[in-house]
Amino acid sequence: MTEVPEHEKRCGYVAIVGAPNAGKSTLTNGLVGTKVSIVSPKVQTTRFRVLGILMTGPAQVILVDTPGIFQPKRRLDRAMVAAAWHGASDAEIICLMVDAHRGLDDDTRAIIDKLKGAKREAILVLNKVDMVKKERLLDLTARLHEEGIFTDVFMVSALKGDGLADLSKVLSDRVPLGPWMFPEDEVSDLPQRMLAAEITREKAFIQLHEELPYALTVETEKWEEREDGSARIDQVIYVQRDGQKAIVVGKGGHQIKTIGAAARTELEALLERRVHLFLHVKVREDWQEKRGHYNEMGLDFDA
C-alpha cells in the first residue's frame, strides 16, 4: 500500500444497523474483503458488536457490525439490542440496512422512529435487490425516502457483492480527516480465540437448522501453538439441557463431527495453516445468566 501522508488520512466509525437477518454481517464481510463476522440464515446470529476495518485509499473506515435490532424479551436479547444502539450512537455515520424483499417491517419501522427521535441521519442500504421486482423496489425506496432521514440510497446485493464498490467509495469520502486507529493490515478487532468460537457457532447454527435455536454458545478453552506451525484448538459448545446435548452430538457422534469438520476447514483457510480442532459439548443451564459470559462478549449484563 502506498504511504499516505498523515494530513491526508481519514478515519471514522460507520455503524451498520437493521432488523435481524437484513444482511449486516454479509455486508461487513463484503466491504472488508474477508470474513470478520459470522453469517447464517438464522436471525440474531450476530450477538455482539464486531468491528471490520475497511482500508480504501487514504481512509480507514471502521465498520461496526451490530446485532439485529428487534423487540427484546430475554436478558441476552436486551443486551444485544443495547449493543446495537450503543454502536450506532458512537458512530460518525449510520447505515440502515433494509431487506428489500421483506420491506418495511415493524422492526425497521421502530429503528427509523428511534433514529428520528435521536435526530440522526442515515445512509439507506437496500439489500437483496436482486430478489425484488423493479416496481416494488421503486415503491419501497419512495416510501423510505419520505421518512426524511436518509442522505443517500444504495441498492446492493451483499451476498453477490453488487453495489458495494459505490458504497465503499462514499463511506471513505465521508469519514472525517484524522489518524488511523488500527494498523493498516488489520481487518478486525476480534481476538482469534473469539473468532474461532464464532466460526464454530456459525457451523452449529447452519447444521442444526431449527432443532436447536439459540440455546447454545461456544467458548475457546485452549489454544496451543505447535512446533510444526499448526494450532490445537479446544472448544466447548454449551447447551442448556441434556436433550440439546444429544442433538448436538448426534447419532454416533455424526452431528458434532460434521460441525467440527466444517469449522476446521474454514479456520484453516482463515489462519492459513493446519488446525487440530477438538469440540466438547457440555450442559450449562444458566449460561445466558452468567455475567462473565456477557463481559467476554462485550455485552452489558444489566441492559
Residues comprising the binding site?
Answer: 18-25, 65-69, 127-130
Helices (H), the chain: 24-32, 75-90, 106-117, 134-145, 164-174, 192-208, 242-249, 254-271, 291-297
H helical segments located in 37-160: 75-90, 106-117, 134-145
Distance from C-alpha of 216 to C-alpha of 56, rounded to nearest angstrom: 37
Q: CA–CA separation, 50 vs 273, rounded Å?
A: 24
- Whether 179 and 163 have beta carbons less than 8 Å apart is answered as no
Question: 68, 24 in Cβ contact below 8 A?
Answer: yes
Query: Binding-site residues for GTP, please?
Result: 18-25, 65-69, 127-130
Helix (H, G, I), strand (E, B) or coil at 208: helix
Which residues lie below 8 Å from residue 82, measured CB to CB, with a gap of 6+? 299, 300, 303
Bridge partners of 17, per DSSP, are 96
Q: Is the Cα dihedral 187, 188, 194, 200 positive or negative?
A: negative
C-alpha to C-alpha distance for 101 and 95, rounded to whole angstroms: 18
Task: With beta carbons less than 8 A apart as the criterion, state whether 171 and 14 touch.
Answer: yes
In 3D space, the residue among 99, 222, 113, 215 whose CA is nearest the CA of residue 155 turns out to be 99
Structural contact between residues 18 and 158, judged by C-beta atoms closer than 8 angstroms: no
